[in-house]
Structure 1
């Protein structure tokens, strides 16, 4: 049975660790009215649902959940990624991947499934049998070739776990991310190393490739100004060299 609006609102307020008073103040309503909304004694307008969603910093899917729980139409559509309306966004992603060469870049969805990649990234991941459609979470956990290629595997696992925690907090709940996080937590616990001193400014992932170690850090870009759920959840991840030897190696590969 679908949850009512009050239960959904209370769940998200708890996830965001806000009291009724705090949320009421941020949304500009009385705590009494918010209490009535959670108990079902009052029904929200569409404007109220969207205002509360904004203050709770809900992703599009969660906003749809709040709206439908209140008996209202959803705000976000979830189109097929090949939909003609999404062509400008697809073109933007393709341009970013191409412009980033000779450095690696890729497009992944909310479950870290590889949707597109440029030639340098294909070269890096191809040796481990990773291509479009592959899950990078599953590869990190189970792909022996990738795990062997990561010179600092345990460090990459720890930072991937921290990233999963952040993403799961944003989405609220996601069985795929939750399972991956549980498995990574088990790996991290088995190889726990106390952190000493201040963390360095750059914490790269180091790949063994073609007889050398290539070190990269990454940036992540998301689409703004889209009313489509699928596109709002995409990540464009660009890798940058963490040292001069890596930059020189990537430039040499591009010339060969």
Structure 2
């Protein structure tokens, strides 16, 4: 059985709504060629475009995110193991203690406050997950 792709889901749902690529692009505020690239797996949508796709095509946002970013499945997937609180605190301590990494990635104090709030959700078990989340937030903010 072939694994489902973001492009397949978008094309199938667009067809179910009887929309052309051009019509969908107009609703999303992008070019028709961008929709074609997404459907053919040649581009990944931004987080804000993923949200618009989900809203426009009545699709689950988490499902679309995981199709667009399968490498993130272990972070947000339903089948991930619950990490003990001690490991989560340890991940946060390691992240904020790595000053060279924070400097290299230009992490601001405001971004650290946001990430500390994310840490309180209890879903982070490794320091590098904070960078993944931070980059996703930065990308979403840039596009608004």
Task: Give the shorter-chain TM-score range.
Answer: 0.3 to 0.5
Tell me which structure has the larger Cα radius of gyration: 1
Q: Which has the higher helix share?
A: 2
Higher RCO, 1 vs 2 (CA within 8 Å, ≥6 residues apart): 2
TM-score (ref. length: structure 2): 0.45
Q: Which has the higher strand share?
A: 1
